[in-house]
Structure formats: structure tokens, C-alpha cells
Structure 1
């Protein structure tokens, strides 16, 4: 007769194993005045985040490179540098020249978030303070924005784009991608909660994953990220369940997605915002088959940004 201990060991060895939480490369995040790089990295360590893309915000453009470089200098093995473009309303010749120079230095792996369409909001943060974001509209196929796409193409870096889905934004985005087909672009916030044609809760969860699939199929250099942006306002417990159409999108085009946590306000870093967003993200990832999950969680980003 087989000893009980040997039998139990055999059963455990043959039983299906739960896939553990995979490492995550946070491909969409921000640094702002007041965020201590050491404190940020401790937060990453607490939550199993291997590396992080930082895009500076909350300060004039000419101060942003200094913020990201300060974080990189302290933690070069954890920080991936992006030129911070958040909230720039006009890309003047001076700003474009400055971006070109920063990218030419070879230190920056990308730039973003290029804000093409952003809905304004005001809400209470976890610490009781109020955070606000502005109303931005900038056509993807306007001459100045096409210059930004051209810089991404010229330097071979990644361009992260924030663009809400509307009847006006999608055609312009298609034209910009067609004009610069070699520009590596990440379209942010492609999740089941995202809005369609409006900024209210009634517009949330209305986006069509087939439209995203069509854009990805049309442009081989286009990627998308699973980060919850504006739609955080409408997040409910039921949203942890990944709809079948979205799961199919992520699995069928697993080579084209990355993940991010998108913390644009200092209050989020100082409270429990990172953990709360990560919980939702990990719930989605667990519902995706393991091979696709690893690609989306970190492998695709590692290929995009390099070592």
C-alpha cells in the first residue's frame, strides 16, 4: 500500500496549479512635483511591479525632464524615461525642438501622454482633497500633432496617446496613423469601462472592442494599454468581471497590449490609489489565458522599451 504522505505528494504534483500573479511592467504612469522616487519604488515593491514608465506632469514643460531624470538617476533599473507631454495644448516650434533634443539624447524611450481628447472632471481624492483635470481637444491629424508622430518615427520611440473615442476622433486618428505608419503608438485606456461619444456614466461601457481590433489590424505599429483613466469615475464592483468580447480582444491580439496604472495626481500615490487600481487590473489579467497574460503583463512592454 502506498504511504499516505507519498500519495498526497503525488496528488499535489499532478493537480492543476493556479497560475501565480505574473510580474507587471507598469507601462503608463506619471511623476509630479512632491513624489519621492524612493517612496514610489517602495510602492512598486509592495505590489510586484518590476519596472515603470514615468511621464512627468503637473509642472511647466521645461521642468518635466528634470523630474523624470531625478527618478531615473536614483533607480535606473526600475524607471523607463518618457518625455512628458500631458496637457500640452499647442506644440509650438520651440516645444517640438525641445522634444527632438530630449529624444536625441538617447535617454528617453518614449513620450506621452499626448492629450488629443480628454474630458474635464473634478472629484474627491481618497485623502479628501479635490483633484481636477482639464478639457482638451487636439486633432490627431493637425499639422502640429503630426510633427509629434514624426518625431516618434524619427527616433524610433514610443508615443502614448490619450484620446477618447468619438465620431470625430477616430477618423483623425486613422489618418495620423496612416501618415506615419512606422510610429510606435500606444492608445491608452482600452478597457471594458471606456466611454463612447460622451463623458457621462451613461456613455461608459459602450465602446466596441471590434473597433479597437480593426485599428490594431490596420496598423502593425499600433498598441493599446489596459489602464483605467477617466472611467475611474464610473468604476463598479461588477466591472471586475471581464466581458467575453473584451477577453477575446485581449487574447486574439495579445502581442499588441500592455498594462498601466496611470496615477496622474500626487494624492493617488500618497493614499491607496495604486493598490486599488492594481486589484482591478490583476482581476482582468487572471481571466485571460496564461500565455496572453504574460505578454500583456510585461513581455510586450519589455520588447517595446528594451532592457
Structure 2
């Protein structure tokens, strides 16, 4: 329809047509109507990590029961009367054992060759005892040529790795000697013992010292420990000869002191180990001491003569002690500490 003809329409009709045109135009150019529920998009599913990619929760290793822990015995005298040690050690769960022979060093060396990896030979103990008995103060003051010759022989065996420790050196057994055995009492910081301790430091081997905890000897021991912090001293039978307060003080003051706990049922026929109660269990103060210094104690048996039944009993006794400790302390006492000391040897 042309504009000229629309102008001739009646006014009301023209107005209606105009309104209709506006309405039709709004349907095509106005905003889109709001979306209905039917038109709403579905939410995207949450992203989940594949099970295989998730980190596994940390697992806590199951502690080894005390009855199954390997044991390293650092107060075992390698005497020639021992036979079948591989089978005996396997039976009782002893990984290795060692210290000095009651006689010449060659006895320990021979047994170590018979049982490689099971016997740890220490040396020098028998020579020191012999020299002290024959020379007296000239021995511990290192004034005799025989002492110098001994020290040279000992160093050669340490240098080539034949010996892995020094001892057992008896500086004071006046209150702890086995009935009928010789009594020794000379300064723990004497010239001879200092020379031995220097060898301990030079070759990184432990030195086993038998010393009663008399005040004078303790003072000498502290001077020895301070004389060379590279040396390592194993205080033999610590559980028999010193109380908890003293040992705690010494362990705190001297990082190069270690306690070797070779327990005996009695000493000289009458004195029982003060660390045990009447049932053979650790007293609480001793248990706490070991827990407080778990890196500083090692096991020992110290049988006076080869006797497999007694050795089985002693190792069984030690497993009873291990059961009274936390798993971590028990493992260190059983073998970790001893192996760490022996691995340091060069």
C-alpha cells in the first residue's frame, strides 16, 4: 500500500494499523525472553582424580619384635674353646660378637678367621695386663721399651684392619674382679691409656675399658675422654659399677663415651646388677636412662668360658630386656649402635 492511499483511510482504522505494525516489529527486534527451566544447561560433572594418581597414605613400618631383632654382642671373649659358633649365633639371632681374648691377641685373630663376619677381634688387653703385672708403674707411665714395642705391634694390626677394637683394658677392677683373679688399679688417664686412646681415635675403633666407678677413677676417665674427642670409649659392665645419676651426667658431658651393658647375675659371688630388680627386670630409672640416651648403649654378655647353654640363656635374658624398651630404643641397643661403632673403623 502506498503512502498516498494510507492517508485517505478513516482515522480509527489508520490508528489500529499503526499499532499492529509496532507490535509485529517488537517481536523481531526486542530482547530474547528469559530462559525457562527446560532450556537451562546441565551443570558439568566435578573433575575427580583417577584412583591410580592419588598419593598413597604414608605407611608406618611395623616394629620388629624383640624376639626377632638381630643382636651384636660387644663383650664376647673369643676363646679357642668356642666351636660351632655359626650355628649357635644363627640359633640365638646373634649377628656378630667380639672383644679381646683372655690370652694373646692371636687367639681372637684365629677365631675371626674361622668365623669371618661373625667374630670382631679386639686386641691389646692381654698385653697390657701382662705388662702392668711385670713392670708396675713403668708400664702405665709408658717408660719401658717393652711398652713401646707393644704399642707398635698393636698399631700395625689396627692399621691393616686385622683388629677392630682395643681392649678389654682393666684400669680398676678392685671392687669387681672375679674371685681369685688379679686386681688392677692404675690411672685411667695414664700415659699408656692415653696412647691407646690416641690409637682409638686414629683408627676410629672402640676401646673397651673395665673401670669401677670410684670417684678418683671417674675423674681420670673424664680427663681421658677430654684428651681426644676422636676416641671412642666403651665402659665395660656399666650397669654394675655406676648409678644412674653418674652415668647420665657422664653421657651428657662426653659424647665419645658409650655404655656396654654386659650384665651378670652376680659379681664376686654376692653383688647383683644394680640396674635390675629382684625379678631380673630393668629398674624404671635404668629403663628411662636408656630411652633418654638410645644411641649410647650396646649389649654384652661376657661369659668367662665357652659354654653354649649359658650363652643361650644370656641372649634370652637380653631379649627380655629389649622387650621392656620402646621399639626404636630396642633396635638401637640390639645392634644399630654397635654396628655404627664398628663401621667407623678405618
Q: How high is the TM-score relative to the length of structure 1?
A: 0.78
Which residue does the alignment assign to 2:178? 121
Partner of 1:249, secondary structure, is: helix
**Distance change (3 Å), C-alpha of 1:218 and 1:239:** farther
1:79-118 map, 5 Å? 79-86=119-126, 87-88=129-130, 89=132, 90=139, 92-118=147-173
| Mapped contact 1:120–1:133 kept (Cα < 8 A) | yes
Equivalent in 221, 229, 234 of residue 186 of structure 1: 234
Which whole-Å CA distance do the structure 1 matches of 2:237 and 2:177 have between them? 16
Residue 239 of structure 1, CA deviation: 4.8
Alignment of 1:35 with 2:81, yes or no, is yes
Which whole-Å CA distance do the structure 1 matches of 2:66 and 2:76 have between them? 24
Partner of 2:213, secondary structure, is: coil
Which whole-Å CA distance do the structure 2 matches of 1:43 and 1:289 have between them? 27
Larger Rg: 2
Residue 73 of structure 1, CA deviation: 1.5
Residue 230 of structure 1, CA deviation: 8.8
Residue 94 of structure 1, CA deviation: 1.9
Equivalent in 301, 304, 317 of residue 261 of structure 1: 301
**Distance change (3 Å), C-alpha of 1:114 and 1:220:** same
After TM superposition, where is structure 1 displaced by more than 3 Å over at least 4 residues in a row?
229-237
**Distance change (3 Å), C-alpha of 1:20 and 1:296:** closer
Partner of 2:215, secondary structure, is: coil
Which whole-Å CA distance do the structure 2 matches of 1:133 and 1:295 have between them? 33
| Mapped contact 1:56–1:84 kept (Cα < 8 A) | no
| Mapped contact 2:76–2:300 kept (Cα < 8 A) | yes
Structure with bigger strand share is 1
1:60-209 map, 5 Å? 64-86=104-126, 87-88=129-130, 89=132, 90=139, 92-118=147-173, 119-122=176-179, 132-191=180-239, 194-195=240-241, 207-209=242-244
Residue 172 of structure 1, CA deviation: 0.5
Which residue does the alignment assign to 2:91? 46
Residue 155 of structure 1, CA deviation: 1.6
How many residues get paired?
260
Q: Deviations over 1:193-213 (max 9, x none)?
A: x24xxxxxxxxxxx3212112
